[in-house]
Chain A
Amino acid sequence: MLTILFDGIAYGMLLFVLACGLAVTLGLMNFVNLAHGAFAMAGGYVTAVLMNRYGVPFLLTLPLAFLVPALAGLVLERTLYKQLYTRSHLDQVLFSIGLVFMAVAAVDYAMGSQQQMIRIPTWLQGRVEILGIQVGLYRSFIIAVCGVLVVALQFILTKTRFGSRLRAAVDDPRVARGLGINVSVIFAATFAVGSGLAGLGGALGAEILGLDPTFPLKFMIYFLIVVTVGGTTSITGPFLASLLLGIADVAGKYYVPSLGAFVIYTLMIVVLVLRPQGLFARAR
């Protein structure tokens, strides 16, 4: 029972790391970036390539799995994305889907279509028993990393100057500019961090979710579910939503396996019908 809870939390946390970058771009910057998964995939491949070809230890690859997609995000933001902030959502969808197609085919060309494997270090393998619960070490590691991330993100957004500037830039770019806030730099930085977080999520998730060129398409739905269920106005919303969805999914599949596939979708529909703005959003 508690093991199920633990697995659910770990799964939810993983969903959160993958989706929180999207929560930032979609929720805060109001940009529908379906190419989010491509950045996550980039992070995963950075880790896989570094580990398998160059023998870099797993933990050392993680910062790079953050930096490389963040850099890619920064470049793309400066060159392409920034032209689309003022465009319609449909344009953004079309554009980012185009990027996904390109990323899928390009990775396929460069790396082949097969699954990439990473080997996590032995001290993260296996499981231990804590207070009578079987706890997987790698899943605990994910929970720890995500916990730190949530706290840090929440702190940055609510307590730092950058956070308040970002919120100001999002709420009313024109006024923010008038107040001397460099909106485009803030957006670029935010976008880069969002992409980097996706990359980190991809690297952490490769062990559990697998990694192949179709990754951005396969998991796009999950990211979107987390963000919409959580509501797009905060970081805590998607966080709690990820936990809820993770636990519900794992528990649903454990207790009623025959209906397991329905749980996450049905939950989403019910939540959205009852609370169209998302579970944890304050109405604006």
Chain B
Amino acid sequence: MQSDTADNVRAALGRRGRWGWGEVAFWLVAAATLVFLPERHLILNEIAIIGLFALSLDLILGYAGIVSLGHAAFFGLGAYAAGILAKNGIGDPLLGLGVAALAAAILGFVTSFLVLRGSDLTKLMVTLGVALVLGELANQMSWLTGGADGLQGITMGPILGLFEFDIFGTVAYAYSLVVTFVLFVIARRIVVSPYGLSLRSIRDNPLRARAVGIPVNRRLVAVYTLAAAYAGVAGALLAQTTQFVSLDVLAFHRSADVMLVLVIGGVGYLYGGLIGAVFFKVLQDVLSAWTPQYWQFWIGLILVLLVLAGRERLTDRVRALRPRSRRGLATDKARPLPTTTAREV
């Protein structure tokens, strides 16, 4: 009997782990932009980075139900870690990514204990507070970070000793895209694992999850640390590809933007952050080229309309394009955070 259940779960998870044609197409299109959109590589690079950043927020918000308004803390720490490393002559990009991930993961681990308690609002504000304190620290420690002037003099070595960053942003974009893809695959693997399943059950009902023997706190600490490392990598990518770090990597608007990006794209499925990033950045770019002064008005209007028209419905429609994801939509009713129910990958 019991082994039957285990087999069923394993089989179900295995089914979910399989790649749908929609997903393959998504990444093929992304890869194709490397060749077909040479003029847009700079903004595509930014999109890839924000997409990865949103993906990392999704890991905690969409899969574990931890809301955060201070995710930029990890992003910024990663950016500064990679930047400071490169400034001091260690210009290998991959090493920089590793150090950034490690630094952010440590911070994530330490601060994860602060966000385990309290309501959504408390979590929002504690994470926000951490980011603000970190931002203020970076401002004060100007001997290390360059303070408000920004960290200058970053020179990156070639990736793997082969590819030098170019002014067209092609190498930068390829680099960010590959890193994002690799991390995406890992994240995808994680969320369809039994571990990912346990996270979702915690999100949906922490009490019940605890009752069936899931070590809730340990799982949450682990995912928060993982998400922090992801955000750190995203920050490091930004620092390495722009070769500049300034205080606004830690600023509130960065945390808020990534939240918007993720919510627009859809919470609780890994493509949400990526799609949101494409949508938000392209929109911002088009609008701000059209009216540099008042583009915010139109972004705002679109957000309002999006919510009124039913954001959930829109993103669900996208998700419904992929076959095995329709289950669980019926229960998608209003409730406190997180909004998403048992949703797949």
**A interface residues (Cβ-Cβ under 8 A, vs B):** 26, 32, 80, 83-84, 86-91, 93-95, 97-106, 108-109, 217, 221, 224-225, 227-229, 232, 258, 261-262, 265-266, 268-269, 272-273, 276-278
Please tell me which one of the listed residues B125, B294, B308, B339 contacts residue A90 in the complex, with CB atoms under 8 A apart: B339
One of B122, B252, B300, B307 near A102 (C-beta < 8 A): B300
Contact A97 B256, beta carbon cutoff 8 Å:
yes
Q: Given A105-B300, A269-B129, are A84 and B119 also a contact pair (CB < 8 Å)?
A: no
User: In the bound complex, do residue B294 and residue A108 qualify as a contact, i.e. CB atoms below 8 Å apart?
Assistant: yes
- Distance in angstroms from A206 CB to nearest chain B CB is 22
Q: Is B303 an interface residue (CB 8 A)?
A: yes
The answer to whether B178 has its CB under 8 Å from any CB of chain A is: no
Question: Are A106 and B132 in touch, CB under 8 angstroms?
Answer: no
Which B residues have a C-beta under 8 Å from some C-beta of A? Answer: 67, 114, 117-122, 124-126, 128-130, 132-133, 136, 139-140, 252-253, 256, 259-260, 263-264, 267, 293-297, 299-304, 306-308, 311-312, 334-339
Q: How far is the CB of A98 from chain B (nearest CB, A)?
A: 3
**Given the complex of chains A and B, what is the CA–CA distance between A254 and B125 in angstroms?**
25
B132 contact from A95, A217, A227, A265, Cβ within 8 A: A265
A104 with B133: in contact, given A88-B336, A97-B260 (CB under 8 Å)? Answer: no
Q: Are A265 and B264 in contact (CB under 8 A)?
A: no
Q: Which residues of B lie under 8 Å from residue A83 when comparing CB positions?
A: 308
Give bound CA distance, A95 to B299, whole Å: 11
Residues in B neighbouring A32, C-beta threshold 8 A: 121
Question: B300 and A277: CB pair below 8 A?
Answer: no
B256's nearest neighbour on chain A, judged by CB, is A97
Contact status A269-B297, CB under 8 Å: no
Q: Are B297 and A95 within 8 A (Cβ)? A: no
5 contacts between A and B (CB under 8 A): A89-B337, A95-B304, A95-B307, A98-B299, A101-B299
Kindly list chain B residues whose C-beta atoms are within 8 Å of the C-beta of A26.
121
Residues of A within 8 A of B121 (CB): 26, 32, 227-228, 232
Tell me which of B130, B293, B301, B337 contacts A269 (CB under 8 A): B130
Q: Answer whether A228 and B334 are a contact pair too, CB < 8 Å, given A99-B300, A269-B130.
A: no
B84 to chain A, nearest CB (A): 22
Q: Which residues of B contact A103 (CB under 8 A)?
A: 300
Instruction: Report chain B residues within 8 Å CB of A87.
Output: 307, 334
Which residues in B have their C-beta under 8 angstroms from that of A276? 117-119, 122
Contact A94 B264 (CB under 8 A): yes
**Contact yes or no, A265 B136, CB < 8 A:** yes
Pick from A26, A105, A227, A261 the residue with the most CB of B within 10 Å.
Answer: A105
B122–A98 contact, CB under 8 A?
Answer: no
Docked CA distance A105–B256 (Å): 18
Which residue in B125, B296, B337 is a CB contact (below 8 Å) of A88?
B337
Q: A106 contacts B263, CB within 8 Å?
A: no
Chain A residues near B126 (CB-CB < 8 A): 268-269, 272-273
Please, which residues of chain B bring their CB within 8 A of the CB of A106? 297
* Bound complex: CA A26 to CA B336 (Å): 13
Chain A residue at smallest Cβ distance from B126: A272
Q: Chain B nearest CB: distance from A38 CB in Å?
A: 10
Q: In the complex, how many angstroms separate the beta carbon of B66 from the nearest chain A beta carbon?
A: 13
> Which residues from B are CB-within-8-Å of A105?
293-297, 300
Chain B residue contacts of A94, Cβ below 8 A: 260, 263-264, 303, 306-307, 311
Q: Is the CB of A93 within 8 A of B259?
A: yes
Point out the residues of chain A lying under 8 angstroms from B114, CB to CB.
269, 273
Q: Kindly list chain A residues whose C-beta atoms are within 8 Å of the C-beta of B300.
A: 97-105
Closest 10 CB pairs of A and B: A276-B118, A101-B300, A98-B303, A105-B297, A102-B300, A88-B339, A98-B304, A95-B307, A269-B129, A228-B125
Given contacts A88-B338, A268-B125, 15 further A-B contacts (CB under 8 A): A80-B304, A88-B334, A95-B308, A98-B303, A98-B304, A99-B300, A102-B301, A103-B300, A105-B300, A109-B294, A109-B297, A262-B136, A269-B114, A272-B118, A276-B122
